[in-house]
Amino acid sequence: MLSRYNTGAVDLCGPCAREHPPAAAEAPSVPAHVWSDSGIQEALNALDFGRLSQLVRRRSGLRQDDLARITGLSQGYLSQLESGTRRLTHLDKSQAFLEALNVPTALRPIAAPETVNGAHRATETTSHQRTAPDPAPDLNALAADAAATSGAFADLIAPTNIDANALEELSFTLARIATDYVHAPLFPLFTELISVRDQLFSKLQGRQRPQQSRELFMLAGTTCLLLAHASQNLGDQASAMTQIRTARTCAEQADHTGLLAWTLGTAALITEWSPQGRMSLRLAEQAATLAPPGESRIRIAAIEARTAARIGDHERARTALDRMRRAMDEPPRDDDLVQYGGLLTFPRAKQDYYLGGTYTLLGEHQQAQQHAATAIEAYRTGPHEERSYGDEALAQLDLITIGIHQGDLDEALAGLHHILNLPPEMRIRQLGNAMDRLGTLVRRPELKRSRAAGELADLIRGYQVIDGGTALPSGR
């Protein structure tokens, strides 16, 4: 009788199945088309066999145990190779690995010793006859081949796969993106961030000195942090929080408290704009214990204050505002995260924008109006590279909200036209949320007979914000 554990894949009982084993399945192989992939070719050139294994499996649909069968390595060894905990360090083993994968000869970075320029070809001899000697080799070509093989070996055994110049270049690129982010379209920046992130991840799968690894983890964490901001501005909270998780892990690996604090603060900011206000406050509490004096500490207090005001906890909001002001009076500590500028700073214009938003939510309209107007003026008259169009538009919406509360609907109507005139690529998702709240406000029963309120409601209705297919600038 068939066992109850039999899944139906075979119609034999255990003893019969053992007596009549199925025909052996066709051995797996690597399809030829994968070698045209640019990522695989880059991994080959870099002698990054772990990355090569991952990409080959991904492009060919093979499992890890399939590739283990092909290469003759154990699955455990292959797993360690892909994770970077093991390396192929011997030329003969590296060559055998490439042979087993059937890598085209033209793409192999390590030439087989017996085939290099034909220098080691054996000649057949007998006791009675010796073949004619080979023509004299091209010594220049032989020297070049020898140098290439030695260079590949040096790369293989080098203690690091990155130098100070490369780290500085990557850091400079991130600083430029962080600065451009607050005022430039997002799409090209987003794709560039992905490219930088992939470079950093690839390097981290290789070998570096401990300090270089920490710097790479710090740069990788900063890149994912910027991608989290971008995902939030697109309205994709799930993707943003995945980037936050990776940024947080990288910050911990880098042992960089400043990056960890800023990452937790960004997580609080992302959840502030969602129904998860209490989670935002918990994240802000964690960030506050880590944030160094200066802009990071001011930012965390500002996020907590606005979040508390948004969920109606006015007492906590005022406590956080007091802590924000004390932080503004503290002498700042050197924080190398702020060196990137742009999105990774919290200048006075942004501080006033947050204060205006918090006081608007608290219903303290005089102070809200003062800070919102100050923020808008600072953005419009300040340096172009520091102008955050997203923050400026949201501060304008705070002034519109105050005008409605104070009965000045004509002024609110004039201010709304500035928001409506923003090009689509500048309409971040947070503007959509704010416009929805404004629509609810102008539809209150006491404004039912107001002509201006009706015009406001008509203008707000159907307001379209950015979607994932358009470009966007923002300084959230």
Look up the CATH number of the domain holding residue 340: 1.25.40.10
| Any domain includes 356 | no
Segment 274-281 shows an average pLDDT of 86
Contact 167, 219 (CB under 8 A): yes
**Is residue 22 in a domain?**
no
- Residues 152 and 169 grouped into a single domain: no
Task: Answer for the pair 395, 375: CB distance below 8 angstroms, yes or no.
Answer: yes
372 in the same domain as 340: no
**Distance between CA atoms of 39 and 416, rounded to whole angstroms?**
48
d(CA 73, CA 77): 6
Q: Who has greater pLDDT, 309 or 403? A: 309
Which CATH number does the domain housing residue 83 bear?
1.10.260.40
- Using one digit for the tens of pLDDT, what is the confidence trace for 363-393? 999 999 999 999 999 998 988 777 888 888 8
Q: Phi first, then psi: give them for residue 130, nearest 5 degrees.
A: -120, 135
Do 334 and 387 fall into the same domain? no
Sign of the torsion formed by the C-alpha atoms of 244, 246, 250 and 252: positive
Half-sphere exposure (Cβ direction) of 22: Cα atoms closer than 13 Å:
8
The string of pLDDT tens digits covering residues 109-129 is: 754 444 333 333 333 334 444
Q: Are 392 and 474 within one domain?
A: yes
Same domain, 453 and 468: yes
What residues pair up with 125 in beta bridges, in sequence order?
A: 130
| Cα–Cα distance measured from residue 357 to residue 70, given in angstroms and rounded to the nearest whole number | 61
Q: Are residues 389 and 463 in the same domain?
A: yes
Q: Is residue 268 part of a domain?
A: yes
Q: Which residue carries 């949201």 as its tokens?
A: 394
- Residue 295 tokens read as 């802009």
pTM of the model: 0.64
| C-alpha separations of 62 from 56, 59, 82, 222 in Å | 8, 8, 14, 33
- 353-358-364-365 Cα dihedral, nearest 10 degrees: 40
What single-letter amino acid sits at 431? L
- Say if 139 falls within a structural domain: no
How do residues 300-350 score in pLDDT, each as one tens digit?
Answer: 999 999 999 999 999 999 999 999 999 999 999 877 888 888 899 999 999
The 3-state secondary structure of 174-201 reads HHHHHHHHCCCCHHHHHHHHHHHHHHHH
Domain boundary among 157, 186, 218: 157
The Cβ of residue 300 has, within 10 Å, a number of other Cβ atoms equal to 30
Same domain (yes/no): 286, 421: no
Please, are residues 127 and 61 in contact by the beta-carbon 8 Å criterion? Answer: no
Tell me, what's the pLDDT at 406?
Answer: 85
SS3 content of the chain, % helix, strand, coil (to 5): 70, 0, 30
E-strand stretches of 181-257: none
- Which domain covers residue 66, as residue numbers? 32-114+145-157
> How many residues in the chain?
476
Half-sphere exposure of 350 (CA within 13 A, CB side): 24
Q: How many domains does the chain have?
A: 3
- Give me the pLDDT at residue 122, please: 37
Residues 319 and 411 in one domain: no
| Same-domain check for residues 250 and 291 | yes
Q: How many helices (H) and strands (E) does the chain have?
A: 21, 0
From 392, 423, 415, 410, select the one nearest 454 (Cα to Cα).
410
CA 186, distance to chain mean position in Å, is 14
Distance (Å, rounded) from C-alpha 474 to C-alpha 294?
23
Q: Are 324 and 444 found together in one domain?
A: no
């560039």: which residue's tokens?
192
pLDDT at 2 over 70: no
Mean per-residue pLDDT over the chain, rounded: 81
What's the angle, vertex CA 420, arms to CA 414 and CA 421, rounded to 5?
95
Share of the chain above pLDDT 90, in %: 35
Which of 291, 317, 346 represents a domain boundary (last residue)? 346
pLDDT reported for residue 461: 81
Cα of first residue to Cα of last residue in the chain, in angstroms, is 67
Residue 278 has pLDDT above 80, yes or no: yes
Q: Which two tokens stand for residue 473?
A: 């600038």
Indicate whether 3 belongs to any domain: no
Decide: helix, strand or coil at residue 125. Answer: strand
Average pLDDT (419-436) is 72
- Residue 260 inside a domain? The answer is yes
Decide if 56 contacts 101 (C-beta within 8 A): yes
Q: Is residue 450 part of a domain?
A: yes
Across 25-29, 46-50, 249-253, 449-453, the highest mean pLDDT is recorded for 249-253
Same domain membership, residue 288 and residue 181: yes
Domain boundary among 124, 157, 190: 157
Tokens (6 digits) for 293: 């004096």
Rg (CA), the chain: 31
- Does residue 4 carry a pLDDT above 60? no
CA-based nearest residue to 203, from 48, 87, 98: 48
Q: Which of 292, 307, 300, 370 is nearest to 337 (CA)?
A: 292
pLDDT value at 208 more than 70 = yes
User: In this model, does residue 259 exceed pLDDT 60?
Assistant: yes
pLDDT at 156: 66
Q: Within a domain: residue 26?
A: no
341 and 374 fall within a common domain: no
